[in-house]
Chain A
Amino acid sequence: MNNQELNPEIINEQDLVERLKKGQQWAFNTLVNTYQERLLKIAYGITLNREDSMEVVQDVFITVFKNIQTFRQDASLATWLRKITINQCLNWKRKWKRRFRWNHESIDSENDKDLFKESKKNDDPEMLYHEKQMEKKLMGAIKTLPEKIRLVLVLNAFEGLSYEEIAKTLNIKRGTVSSRLHFARKNLIALLELSD
């Protein structure tokens, strides 16, 4: 392993794309290591399932690997990857909706019950408990949001995209982004207050 593998963020994107086009294993590793967390979070925000989000993102990298020759760098690599991830997630959801799975999964049934045990800055057990409860409620509430609303929230919260960028990514108007985000926040707060 060389230094470049340890510091993927220092790599020039154009150089990475050129190397990917040449089929270099190192470039592929760098691509996966650099972008996987971002894409996994987006996929998780849409699918709300760890395993499914991993499958989706693996498929994204496979798609990128197979189609890298067609990538003309009109947009950034991150934008391209983000768009592919969103499309794969929406296709995944449609596929599973047809199989009557989506609406039958409970957020509680997921195997991430212990997710918040570690890496909490606050050591007060009571505080930790409340935070964990709040997270659980919030994630439960997020599941009830319509997909198009959640998608905007995910791009705002995880990717930190501006309204303009979200609008371009999802092919919607800037004002729609604003109203959807407002709707999401308002509803999440209402659901949280309702469950208190």
Chain B
Amino acid sequence: MKKPCDKYTAEDISRFIDNELSRDQYHAVAQHLIHCPVCSRLVERYRSISSVINDHAAQAVLRIDPVKLKQKIVQQNSKETFSRNIFRFFTKNIYLKLASIAAIVIFSLLPFQGALFGPTGPSAIVKYVDTDFASVMIIETQKEQHTIIWFSET
């Protein structure tokens, strides 16, 4: 460890300014400082660090308005209470719970209804030709609008 002088380490000086030395050690360092400009300078610099950052922080911080903060808490509480009440309302009653689950299932399946249950109505006949020897029908499917050509010999 780098020593500020031959007698005391920098950590000793650090502990000195924090009053963390024993009484005897403290007095010995205090006596030493009278004659040692190197250690005195270190004490001064260490103290100035604490003082400068303390002053800086004191001026940097903003102020909190307790009344506004309380309003914020009240708003937060009312939101939380509302959500909690909604949750309780739906979870308290078994029928409501089942109805909620059913509603969620129905609504989540709505976009897939075509894929799951197939087309819901007949396809449209675009063109129909019927002769003595054959019949032709052009059909368009309802959802995907695919064209189907149906041919039949009579």
Q: In chain B between 1 and 20, which residues have their CB closer than 8 angstroms to a CB of chain A?
A: 2, 10-11, 14-15, 18-20
Whether A37 pairs with B58 at a CB distance below 8 angstroms is yes
Whether B64 pairs with A54 at a CB distance below 8 angstroms is yes
Whether B54 pairs with A58 at a CB distance below 8 angstroms is no
Let me know if B69 is at the binding interface, CB within 8 A.
yes
Whether A157 pairs with B49 at a CB distance below 8 angstroms is yes
Selected from B10, B50, B76, the residue in CB contact (under 8 A) with A182 is B10
Whether A45 pairs with B53 at a CB distance below 8 angstroms is yes
A146 to B57, CA, bound (A): 18
Provided the pairs A157-B49, A178-B14, A185-B46 are in contact, do residues A37 and B69 lie with their beta carbons within 8 angstroms? no
Whether A112 pairs with B60 at a CB distance below 8 angstroms is yes
Whether B57 pairs with A44 at a CB distance below 8 angstroms is yes
Let me know if A7 is at the binding interface, CB within 8 A.
no
Whether A58 pairs with B69 at a CB distance below 8 angstroms is yes
Let me know if B23 is at the binding interface, CB within 8 A.
no
Whether A36 pairs with B64 at a CB distance below 8 angstroms is yes
Chain B residues within 8 Å of chain A by Cβ, number: 32
Q: In chain B between 93 and 115, which residues have their CB closer than 8 angstroms to a CB of chain A?
A: none
Residue among A25, A41, A51, A119 with the most chain B CB within 10 A?
A41
Please indicate the chain A residues that have their CB under 8 angstroms from the CB of B45 in the complex: 189
Whether B18 pairs with A54 at a CB distance below 8 angstroms is no
Whether A115 pairs with B60 at a CB distance below 8 angstroms is yes
A-B pair number, CB within 8 angstroms: 105
A188 to B15, CA, bound (A): 16
Selected from A29, A62, A158, the residue in CB contact (under 8 A) with B72 is A62
Chain A residue nearest in CB terms to B2:
A186
Chain A residues within 8 Å of chain B by Cβ, number: 46
Let me know if A32 is at the binding interface, CB within 8 A.
yes
Selected from B46, B59, B62, the residue in CB contact (under 8 A) with A54 is B62
Mark contacts of A37-68 with chain B using CB atoms, 8 A cut-off: 1 yes-contact digit, 0 otherwise: 10011001100001101100110011001100
A13 to B62, CA, bound (A): 25
Let me know if A169 is at the binding interface, CB within 8 A.
no
Let me know if A179 is at the binding interface, CB within 8 A.
yes
Mark contacts of B41-58 with chain A using CB atoms, 8 A cut-off: 1 yes-contact digit, 0 otherwise: 000011001101111111
Please indicate the chain B residues that have their CB under 8 angstroms from the CB of A51 in the complex: 62
A45 to B60, CA, bound (A): 10
Given contacts A40-B57, A142-B53, A156-B18, 17 further A-B contacts (CB under 8 A): A28-B70, A40-B61, A50-B61, A50-B62, A54-B61, A54-B62, A62-B73, A112-B59, A139-B53, A139-B56, A153-B53, A158-B53, A162-B18, A163-B20, A178-B14, A181-B18, A188-B49
Using CB atoms and an 8 Å cutoff, list the residues of chain B in contact with chain A: 2, 10-11, 14-15, 18-20, 45-46, 49-50, 52-64, 66-67, 69-70, 72-73, 76
Would you list the 5 A-B pairs with minimal beta carbon distance, nearest first? Answer: A32-B66, A40-B61, A157-B50, A29-B66, A182-B11
In the assembled complex, 21 residue pairs joining A and B whose CB atoms fall closer than 8 Å, in A order, are: A25-B70, A29-B66, A36-B64, A40-B62, A41-B58, A41-B61, A58-B72, A61-B69, A62-B73, A135-B52, A135-B56, A138-B56, A142-B53, A156-B50, A157-B50, A157-B53, A178-B11, A178-B14, A181-B18, A182-B10, A189-B49
